[in-house]
Structure 1
Amino acid sequence: MAEADAVIVGSGVNGLVAAAELALAGWSVVLVEREPNIGGFIATEERTLPGYLHDTYSSWHPLFVSGPAYARLGELLHRHGLEYRNTEEWVTASVADDGRVTLAHRDPRRTAEDFAHDEDRAAYLAALGRLGDNMVAIGGLMSGELRSPAVFRPAAALLRGGGRRGVERWVRSVATSGRGYTRTEFRGDEVDHLFAPWLLHAGLSPDHASGAFLMTLLAAGLHGVGVPVVAGGAGRFLDAFTSLLTTTGVRVETGTRADRILVEQGRAVGVASGGRVFRARRAVLASVTPTALYGTLLPQGAVRSELRDEARRFRYGRAAMQIHVALSQPLGWRDPRLNTIPIVHLSDGSGSTGIACAEAEAGLLPRRPTVVVGQQYVLDSSRVPPGAAALWLQLQEVPFTPRGDSAGELDTAQGWTPELAQGYADRVLNRIARHAPDLPGKVLAVDVIAPPDLTRRNPNAVDGDPYGGSVELDQSFLWRPLPSPGRHATDIRGLWHIGASTHPGPGLGGVSGHMVATTLTTGARFARLPRLSAGRRIRG
């Protein structure tokens, strides 16, 4: 039997952050991970051909480098080998079916210069300015316990900054969809074209509430910190954490499935795995879904039946896919400006992305999926052989259990067979080829990761949802992870819930792990995000 101050279940980014911060505060820590390797949805593999390093799942780190976990651990991680590659130029673009291209630059003014209407340029810069002026307060809300007295500090700061009308404006943005926001605030379609597809990265669709708030936050993040990727692949991020955890004495137990959380006299006292027990003197942190925590890990009778019922009704969102492509040479886009842009979305904006989301949520394979085209090699050439290239493709609008194909071309009767996955990948590659006609002649190998593969890799990706559960408004903010608790401290003393299923939700930021570690080691009830303005720059 092992014993430590804290036992952490799950080694995704939140588990890693919590383990590191607790250990740096002098706690002894055991980190329990089901898989043979740490990282959750962080990995780098030669999935196609030797010499091609693909970030298997997540890749981009703007949320991490702009958040409180990086503020606490960044310098240490860099000492342990972490390096980032980034750009100070054009960071993202959207390409419509008719070939129309809209681009975003690190400089928001350069971005706005290409808008067709003067009033849209002014409205865009004003929105970023309001966010920058209030970022400390908003950061306090996004990185703090919303059901604690400490929430009054950032709320009061918001009130001082903009008065009652200013606060109402922020609340209204949380209740407004991205489509509604761009229709209301902008005459042209550039902002919608650029940032409606980015809402998919937050688990939303253009028609979900809170899209207005997140659209501005995402835009500010791209201008402020860019799209940093880890030099040599995201796996190097894990190497740096492994080195840091080793030097701080964290005991990492991989290949160890948590079977149940031990509860004695209303307090969490450890984790059982097979015939092994890991005792926790002070805290157990579980980076799992509410379904797993309240459905299988906790013993019957440990929590109120109402909580178990809420966990049973916790909803999961759309599934996702990853496609990795090894190329003999970089793509030749019809619009040559796209040749050096790290992230390109194939989307008409809210129109096509909204339709694809609706099709996926109806159980259909979208006819015109939004394609996230990652060109990490333009930032980090070490990932591919000299002169070669690779594509990191993400599809965030697919059903876990397909009931049909919107285009009427693919047979879905047997679910996600290898043939269906390859057929859908061909549709995606054909969409790219419309805008980069030389693609077919440069493809050397393709690797497809279907929704069931995501679930097999990470049990938190229930039904292929990589975001730990639907992030619609009723499952976000005050109501994440569940309506009753709405916080990271559970009803069981010493048991803390972290991960994408908890506030502030999904994304490779490590915020919930940082929040809980901060609370446990300092007693603070919220952690402040660093100020992020439209002019802020973080370089690799």
Structure 2
Amino acid sequence: MSAPHLIIGSGINALVAAALLSRKGEPVLVLERSAHLGGCMRTEEITLPGYRHDVMAATFVLFLTSPAYGELAEDLGRHGLEFCHTAHPTAVLRPGGQSAVLTMDRAANVAAFEKLASGDGRQHEADVGGIEADAGFLFALLGNPLWSFKMARLVAGQAWKRGLNELKAWFGAALQPARGWLEGSYSSPTLQALWAPWVLHTGLTPESTYSGQMGRVIAFALEAAGAPVAKGGSGSVPEAFRKLIEEKGGAVRTGVDVSRILVEDGKAVGIETSEGETIRGRSVIASVTPTQLYERLLEGNDSGKSASKYRYGRGNFQLHYALDGDPDWIAEGLEDVALIHLADGIDSVSKSANEAERGLLPETPTICVGQPHRLDPSRAPEGKGILWLQIPDAPRIIKGDAAGEIEAGPEWTEAVSEAFADRIEAVLRRHIRNFDRIKLARKAYSPADLNAININLVGGDPYGGACTIDQFFIWRPFAHSSNSATDIRNLHMIGASTHPGPGLGGGSGYNLAKRMGA
């Protein structure tokens, strides 16, 4: 057997690259530091026996709409991968009980949003219709290698088709912050509140450049493809990949900590593990953060001088519940919604994000509540339930508490984590009538806990680094970056820290595999 492509890490990008390369007959070896395959795709019984919780990643709309899934769906399905759906992907529930629900039926959404405020339904139709009309160009920008002749031809073609001035206007509109989009387009505060929290899931805030365009993209994707969950838990996704890779002659090893990339004459030739094992390879594909790559795996190498300046974003806080039944929400129509945000509107989302970015525990966190057992009954015993809570606004390093109630800083301790969980639970209790009666157990994960589980979640940042425009698109991870290339031959970097950024789309792994002939 010829030397394999060595892939460090087993997140979605690493698995996509490994699957595509192995399908083409290329030898691959995936090396995962953890005992669990899949990076942020992990399912465990962390509260009570029989309650299966997705510890981190939970929904797969980006994967289902990706070119990677388009090519791999049939093979992964053969190996047991199934997705469960609901017609109601998302909703918002405000403190006063006002709510809005998005369905996968555009006409129904238009009618419902018109009832919230005249003109808002038509505006939604225009927003998602605009994304649909521009899908070919927009998703090429968001998913394909940006620094390439193919992309240059694509942009040139758009300039010819639209005219330079119209193309300039298109890019200008795409850079609009979500606050400008929502306040300038929708009259209903509840409809504004439906979309404002979603920009947090892209690592942005309502004031961030291009967050408005990302909000529109999310609205389109959720309406078109929903918010599917993997049957049996997100951990079933890497297991299907494992079976596919091994079927095609590749290999997957867990519990292997790669400590160093071997470089000879400016060329990556293999890796060394923390146990002293040396493995030679034809190439090294590192699905890691810049600091992990340049300050650990390439320690002493001058090729990553910019890594020390790379910035990470807000941390993530996870909270999981085992329930003795279904939640009785204070608003109707939420029982089968996949993801419900508890937020009052643009200002509340902006406030919590700003507090977290300043190192404070948010006074009123923006909370995303998932009900995976409503889509996939296998997640809990019959008649029972689970909740998956993600709080995308948590400080990586704590400077204080915005409410002045929790003594904290700078580290996340168990006491601080539990006190913050109590704050979140108090919000949850106000939105679920029967919460105290059905609550059985809970498990919290602070940003520090998540970092301990996955070395690439630096400070609990699940997005591989701050997603501000200065280190996104062609500037991700560095201003001088060019797709997945590094200054070392045969060494490639993929993952959330590279274009097209975070999420479960597998884009950087897909792009690299295609450039390598898969």
For the superposition of Structure 1 and Structure 2, which TM-score range results when normalised by the shorter chain?
over 0.9
- Cross-structure match for 1:287: 287
Distance in 2 (CA, whole Å) between partners of 1:85 and 1:197 is: 24
1:6 aligns with 5
TM-score by length of 2: 0.96
Separation in structure 1 between the aligned mates of residue 409 and residue 41 of structure 2, nearest angstrom: 32
Counterpart code for 2:63: F
Instruction: State whether structure 2 residue 481 is matched by structure 1 residue 474.
Output: no
Q: Structure 2 counterpart of 1:32, which letter? A: L
Contact 1:192–1:349 (CA under 8 A) maintained in structure 2: yes
SS at match of 1:336: coil
In structure 1, what residue type is equivalent to 2:102?
Answer: A
Q: Distance in 1 between matches of 2:206 and 2:491?
A: 36
Instruction: Kindly provide the amino acid, as one letter, of the partner of residue 135 in structure 1.
Output: A
Contact 1:141–1:155 (8 Å) recurs in 2: no
Contact map agreement 1:261 1:299 (CA 8 A) in 2: no
Partner SS state of residue 285, structure 1: strand
**Closer, same or farther in 2 for the Cα pair 1:316/1:234, shift >3 Å?**
same
1:176 paired with 2:176, answer yes
SS at 2:241 equivalent: helix
Distance of aligned partners of 1:398 and 1:189 in 2 relative to their CA distance in 1, 3 Å threshold: same
Q: Percent identity between the aligned chains?
A: 39
Determine if contact 1:11/1:31 at 8 Å carries over to the other structure: yes
Where in structure 2 are the equivalents of 1:73-222 lying within 5 Å? 73-87=72-86, 89-115=87-113, 116-159=116-159, 162-222=162-222
Tell me how far apart the structure 2 counterparts of residues 218 and 190 of structure 1 sit (CA, whole Å). Answer: 17
> Which residue in the other structure is 2:278 paired with?
277
CA deviation digits over 1:255-311, x for unaligned, max 9? 111111111122111111132122122x211101111212221253452xxx41x21
SS of 2:316 mapped into structure 1: strand
Work out whether residues 324 and 447 of structure 1, in 8 Å CA contact, stay in contact via their aligned partners in 2: yes
3-state DSSP class of the match of 1:337?
Answer: coil
| Deviation string, structure 1 residues 185-231 (Cα, Å, up to 9, x no partner) | 33333442111101111111111111011001100100111011011
Aligned equivalent of 2:343: 347
Q: Distance in 1 between matches of 2:156 and 2:324?
A: 56
- Structure 2 residue runs of 5 or longer lacking an equivalent are none
List aligned pairs for 1:218-229, cutoff 5 A. 218-229=218-229
**What does residue 356 of structure 1 align with?**
352
* Aligned-partner SS, 1:400: coil
SS at match of 1:416: coil
| Shift, 1:160, TM fit | 5.4
| Equivalent residues, number | 515
SS of aligned partner of 2:405: coil
Q: CA offset at residue 144 of structure 1?
A: 1.7
Residue 36 (structure 1) aligned with residue 35 (structure 2): yes
Matching of residues 374-523 of structure 1 within 5 Å: 374-413=370-409, 415-521=411-517
- Tell me, yes or no, if the aligned pair for 1:325 and 1:391 is still in contact at 8 Å: yes
1:481·1:487 contact (CA, 8 Å) conserved in 2?
no
Q: Distance in 2 between matches of 1:225 and 1:365?
A: 34
> In the TM superposition, what is the alpha-carbon distance from 1:462 to its structure 2 partner?
0.8
Counterpart amino acid of 1:90? H
Amino acid at match of 2:278: V
User: C-alpha distance in 2, partners of 1:191/1:233?
Assistant: 31
Greater displacement, 187-196 / 319-328 = 187-196
Distance 2:496 2:353 in 1: 21
**3-state SS, counterpart of residue 233 of structure 2:** coil
- Cα displacement (A) at 1:130: 1.9
3-state SS in 2 of match to 1:259: strand
Give the structure 1 partner of residue 45 of structure 2.
46
Give yes or no for contact 2:450–2:457 (8 Å, CA) kept in 1.
yes
- The 4+ residue runs of structure 1 with deviation greater than 4 A are none
Give SS of 2:486's match.
coil
The question of 1:330 aligning with 2:326 is answered yes
Partners of 1:203 and 1:302 lie apart in 2 by 29
Q: Which moved more, 1:490-499 or 1:312-321?
A: 490-499
Q: Secondary structure of 2:187's match?
A: coil
What letter matches 1:121 in structure 2?
G
Greater mean deviation of Cα atoms: 455-464 or 140-149: 140-149
Say whether the 8 Å CA contact 1:266–1:302 is kept in structure 2. Answer: no
Greater mean alpha carbon deviation, residues 369-378 or residues 125-134: 125-134
Aligned to 1:525: none
Moved more, 141-150 or 385-394: 141-150
Tell me whether 97-106 or 388-397 shows the greater mean CA deviation.
Answer: 97-106
Q: Please give the residue correspondences for 1:312-327 in structure 2 after superposition, counting only pairs within 5 Å.
A: 312-327=308-323
Q: Residue 325 of structure 1: SS of its match in structure 2?
A: strand
What do you get for the CA RMSD once the two structures are aligned?
1.6
Matches of 1:502 and 1:73 in 2, distance apart?
22
Corresponding letter in the other structure for 1:219: A
- 1:48 maps to a residue whose letter is T
Cα deviation, residue 92, structure 1: 0.9
Q: Does the 8 Å CA contact 1:82/1:237 hold for their aligned counterparts?
A: yes
| CA offset digits 1:77-111 (Å, max 9, x no partner) | 00100011002x22211111222112111112322
- Report the CA distance shift for 1:413/1:270 in structure 2 as closer, same or farther (over 3 A): closer
Normalising to structure 1: TM-score of the pair? 0.92
The alignment partner of 2:145 has SS state of coil
Equivalence for 1:535 = none
Tell me how far 1:126 sits from its aligned partner. 1.6
What secondary structure does 1:419 align onto? Answer: helix
Q: Do the aligned residues in 1 keep the contact of 2:65 with 2:225 (CA within 8 Å)?
A: yes
Contact 1:262 1:270 in 2 (8 A): yes
CA distance in 1, matches of 2:233, 2:300: 43
Q: Could you say if the C-alpha distance between residues 177 and 312 of structure 1 is closer, same or farther in structure 2, counting changes exceeding 3 Å?
A: same
Change (3 A) 1:379 1:161: farther
- Aligned residue for 1:521, secondary structure, equals coil
1:415 Cα deviation from its structure 2 partner: 3.2
**Separation of aligned partners in 2, 1:128 and 1:213:** 11
Q: Which residue of 2 aligns with 1:71?
A: 70
CA distance in 2, matches of 1:504, 1:160: 25
Matched residue, 1:260: 260
Kept in 2, the 8 Å contact 1:203–1:317? The answer is: yes
Find the residue that maps to 1:321 and give its secondary structure.
strand
**For 1:15 and 1:512, how far apart are their aligned partners in 2?**
9
Q: State the secondary structure of the residue aligned to 1:385.
A: coil
